């Protein structure tokens, strides 16, 4: 079983729509969680960290459900510039894997005018 599983999409939504991505992780001891964004033919960049209490950054809201080992990202009022691939990332802080991040395959989003 993969460490991080995501729905690959693609998600195609009109401008202004609300879209949600989900992700599950296999290691219940995982401690740190992130969403990264990757534009076409570019490197991944941190979008936001995910905290246990949930957190919001403008139009973006991230939620963590430890009981279900589930992470979500909600984008409200989608913009054309939100078109990208969104990577769910988990850091299981134990043993020799200390320091490494596990990346999901990514969910592709296209926002159309």
- Exactly one of 39, 45, 57, 59 binds other proteins (CB under 8 A); that residue is 45
Q: Could you identify the residue written with the tokens 């290691």? A: 27
Stretch that binds other proteins, among 17-25, 29-37, 51-59, 67-75 (CB under 8 A): 29-37
Which C-beta is closer to other proteins: that of 65 or that of 93? 93
Which C-beta is closer to other proteins: that of 44 or that of 78? 44
C-alpha to C-alpha distance for 69 and 61, rounded to whole angstroms: 17
62 binds other proteins (CB under 8 A): no
C-alpha to C-alpha distance for 27 and 88, rounded to whole angstroms: 14
How many other CB atoms are found less than 10 A from the CB of residue 52? 11
- Show the beta-strand stretches assigned E in the chain: 4-6, 11-14, 19-25, 32-38, 44-50, 55-57, 60-65, 70-75, 84-91, 102-103, 107-112
98 binds other proteins (CB under 8 A): yes
Which C-beta is closer to other proteins: that of 31 or that of 65? 31
- Exactly one of 14, 43, 67, 113 binds other proteins (CB under 8 A); that residue is 43
Where do contacts with other proteins occur on this chain (CB under 8 A)? 31-32, 34, 42-46, 49, 87, 91, 93, 96-106
């Amino acid at each position: 079983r993969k460490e991080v599983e995501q729905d690959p999409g693609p998600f195609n939504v009109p401008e202004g729509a609300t879209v949600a991505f989900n992700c599950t992780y296999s290691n219940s001891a995982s401690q740190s969680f992130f969403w990264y964004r990757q534009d076409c033919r570019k490197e991944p960049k941190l979008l936001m960290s995910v905290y246990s209490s949930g957190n919001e950054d403008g139009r973006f809201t991230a939620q963590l459900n430890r009981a279900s080992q589930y992470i979500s990202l909600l984008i409200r009022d989608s913009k054309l510039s939100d078109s990208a691939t969104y990577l769910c990332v988990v850091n299981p802080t134990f043993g020799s894997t200390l320091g490494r991040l596990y990346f999901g395959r990514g969910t592709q989003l296209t926002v159309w005018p």
